[in-house]
Amino acid sequence: MRLQSDMIPHSPPSTALVVETNYLIASVIEAPLLSAGYQVAIAADPDEAFALLDTRDIGLALIDFRLQHGEPEGLVALLRQRGIPFIFCTAASVEEVFEHFPNTRVMLKPFSDQELLTAVAALVSDRGSYVGA
């Protein structure tokens, strides 16, 4: 897969944290991030994510809204406290996410690699909220 040069940040954060219960989906999210130069850490639940946040230099996070083991509230609170930007990658509706986390970046599954990298580039450059359709 060829990536457009404008999709790749000039200096990506050290590590992108992917918090996703389904390993296959996590792998699908991981692949384009690796191609774009990111290191990727995968957590299956918030506890694993907390451990990674304590041991890795996490620069951004992509979180499944409907985790099978644990709720994202504590994780989101810690990310906000540390100033780590994040996107919910979810099959839930934007409205459902906004009920719990108003004005949060949301990307609806399924999405293409290019859509993912565009959202991550916007997140890293802080160009505002990204709401996927």
* CATH number of the structural domain spanning residue 86: 3.40.50.2300
In a domain, residue 6? The reply is: no
Number of domains in the chain: 1
pLDDT at 54 over 80: yes
For the chain, give the mean pLDDT: 86
pLDDT in tens, 60-116: 999 999 888 888 999 999 999 999 999 999 998 999 999 999 989 999 999 999 999
| Residue 133, domain member (yes or no) | no
Percentage above 70 pLDDT, the chain: 84
DSSP-assigned states of every residue in the chain = ----GGGS-SS--SEEEEE-S-HHHHHHHHHHHHHTT-EEEEESSHHHHHHHHHHS-EEEEEE-SS-SSS-SHHHHHHHHHHT--EEEEESS-HHHHHHHSTT--EEESS--HHHHHHHHHHHHHT----B--
Assess if residue 96 is contained within a domain. yes
Q: Range of 99's domain?
A: 13-125
